[in-house]
Structure formats: C-alpha cells, structure tokens
Structure 1
Amino acid sequence: MQKLVLASNNTGKVREFQALLAPLNFQVIPQGELGIPSAEEPHHTFIENALAKARHASAASGLPALADDSGICAHVLNGQPGVLSARFAGEPANDAANNQKLIQELKGQINRGAHYVCALVFVNSADDPEPMIVQTRWYGTLIDDPKGTNGFGYDPYFFLPELGLTAAELKPEKKNAISHRGQALRELIIQLQTRSSRA
C-alpha cells in the first residue's frame, strides 16, 4: 500500500477519507499520528488553505500528502461561515457552538440556501510544482432543528430537499457517494489515474 499523509486531525474527515481511498490501495495516515502539528490557515480561499496544509504535511513527513479545506457557505450571509466554518463560534473549535451561531445568524431569513465546499489538494512532495487541485460543491438548505446522528460539523442542519433527509441522516456510504468530499475525491482519483497512466 502507498502511504499518504492526510493533513487533518478531524476524526470525521479521517474516517471518510480512509473509507474512500482504501479501494485504491492508499494507507491514509492522519498527520497527528506522525506528530505533525496543524498548519496555519491564514488564507481567504479554500484552495489556498488546502495547498498550505498539504505542503506543510508533506514537508514534515517526507511523504505524499492530501489536504482538504472545506466548509459551508450560507447564500444569504454572503458565503459565511466559509473558510471559518470549523471555528465560526471561536476557539476552541466546537460543532455545537458553530451550529448554534449559524442558525442564530439565519433567524428570520427566508433564503436558507447553502452549499458545502470541498477544496482537495494532493502533492507528491512539499515543493511539488504541479499539485492536483479539485474544488466541488454540494447544495442544500439549512434548517432550524437538527436531524440525524451521522456525519459531523453542520450535517444535522444541512437538508437535502431531493432526498428529504439531512446529511446527518444519510448512511456513511450514501454520504460518501454524493457529498462535496466524495465528489472531490472521485475527481482527484481520475486525475491520479490519468497522470500515472501517462508517466
């Protein structure tokens, strides 16, 4: 199996990536297991933050690295919380507090449209001049009362009208098949396969 450092210590993300990458013979190692601290995320875009995290993890480990920067964007809030999704309510990061703040910000708003964003970056090395970059969206609406116990983050409040369920009510396999992260990883896999076949 090829070892790959995942530039995240988020247990929910680690589980999802391990499940999605296992069939490709990748051994996904969370950076925390290698003693690698989290990278700074000072940028205003998902892609720039993901690239910074991937280069940081690769430099510290000497291995290829995969990083994602993802979050939720509420349309009526001009895309907030966006890149600040994980710490919307401040430090330390807390899903319950973040959700509470977002629903409070949406109080009285008719437009509840939102989308998850996933920017995914793969680097072969810290100074890889050709990082693979994918960015995808997953559309839904935000509801006031949480439903479901699967997933993490804003999933209990992220409602999918076409399914009549929240992201937290989906079985993990279903979520991985349609989510922003699942979409991004499938696109990245195609890029990886294309590059290796032409190398």
Structure 2
Amino acid sequence: MSTAKIVLATRNEAKLTELRRILAASDLAIELVGLPDGEEVAETGTTFAENALIKARAAVEATGLPAVADDSGLAVDELAGMPGIRSARWSGRRDGTREQRDEANNALLLAQLDDVPAERRGAAFVCAVALVTPEGVERVAHGKLRGALLNAPRGQNGFGYDPLFLADGQTGTNAELTAAEKDAISHRGRAFRELAVVIGQVLVP
C-alpha cells in the first residue's frame, strides 16, 4: 500500500501534537509533515470553515502537497458565541509564549463572566477541519463539544481554554483529562475522525 504525504497546516506545537495523535489513530497509510517556516497566513474568514480552508489552501500553495488545516475556538452562550474565531487572540496579546497568551485569554474571559451564574455559563468548543489537494479537491468536516465554563482554571494538561471547560458528562475539565480521554470526546477529535474517512476516500488508494 502506498503512503500519502499530507501537510498539517499549523505551527502551534501543542495543536500539532494533538492533530498528529488523532490522525495516527485512524490507521490510514499517511505520512504527516509539518508546515515549513514562513509568514503566518491572515485568517480573514468570518467562520471556522472559511479560516480552515484559507490555511489549507496556503499550505498547498507553499508545498505542493495535500494539506489539512483546522480552525477552532470557544463559543460562549452568554457572549453571543464569542470569542469564536477570535479565541486565540481574545485578549489582544500577541507577544510572549503560548502559555502566557493562553493565560491572558483565560483571565479576560473569566473577568467578562465574573457575575454570570453557573446556569448561564454554557459554552461549546467548535472545530472545522479542511482538506485541500493540489488538484483542487476541498472538503470540510466539523466537530463540537458542549459544556460549561468554571469560575477558575483546573488542570495542567491541554492548552487554550481547556482549564476552564467542563464538558457535558465529565467530572474533570479538558485540562484534567488524559490525552486519550480528551481525543475521544473533543471537537477536534470528532472533526478529524470524520475527515479521516474523507482522506481515505480521496488520497489513500
């Protein structure tokens, strides 16, 4: 069986590790490669799907290989679906480490929900993941994980808003789950498992 080489269009090391792990579990004959150094692509879309396609198309143009890209974020009910596509940049902080930016985003979100009672702290992690090929094939898969936001962070695993997010049916936040437990329920896990079927149909003989 031949192996298909696919570019994962992200330079976020935590996300890259997670995406590699999820796709590796699909047992497809694929070789996953990282995105080469270069300028960040402007995410000018108005939806997760549009931004995922923008990043995947740019990766195809840069490498000539099929590319997979995701765009994901947190949609908070009380904030009318925000931070949404602005989740990674919610606090406006662009300097410092990823951990420092995550901490700033979480702190701002907690401040915005400071007086919101538990019954109105519903939220969902949302993901759109796109496959784009040099031949022009484009496919998008979606995943969602419902839950609620806590009043303070818990857990040391995961990244982003994971320490604040308690998924429906769970007793620990996403940052308290093991990698395998998180992959089984996460928005990205669901989206990538759906896309793995497409990859098998489109790329793997």
What's the TM-score, normalizing by structure 2?
0.89
**Alignment-mate amino acid for residue 11 of structure 2:** N
SS state at 1:169 partner: coil
Sequence identity, in percent?
41
CA distance in 2, matches of 1:97, 1:29: 30
Q: Which residue of 2 aligns with 1:28?
A: 32
Structure 2 residue runs without a partner (length 5+): none
- Alignment RMSD: 1.6
Shift of residue 26 of structure 1? 2.4
CA distance in 1, matches of 2:168, 2:55: 33
C-alpha contact (below 8 Å) 1:73/1:79 kept by paired residues? yes
**Alignment-mate amino acid for residue 104 of structure 1:** A
Q: 2:130 aligns with which of 118, 121, 130?
A: 121
**Aligned pairs, how many?**
194
Shift of residue 37 of structure 1? 2.5
Shift of residue 132 of structure 1? 1.0
Provide runs of 4+ in structure 1 moved above 3 Å.
194-197
SS state at 2:5 partner: strand
C-alpha contact (below 8 Å) 1:113/1:141 kept by paired residues? yes
Deviation string 1:41-80 (CA, Å, 9 cap, x unpaired) is: 0121111111000000110011110000000010010001
Q: Which residue of 1 aligns with 2:48?
A: 46
Change in Cα spacing, 1:64 to 1:36, as seen in structure 2 (3 Å) is farther
Q: Which residue of 2 aligns with 1:105?
A: 112
Structure 1 residue runs without a partner (length 5+): none
1:37-116 mapped onto 2 (5 Å cutoff): 37-92=39-94, 94-110=101-117, 111-116=120-125
RCO comparison, higher one (Cα < 8 Å, 6+): 2
CA distance in 2, matches of 1:196, 1:3: 9
CA distance in 2, matches of 1:64, 1:36: 18
What's the TM-score, normalizing by structure 1?
0.92
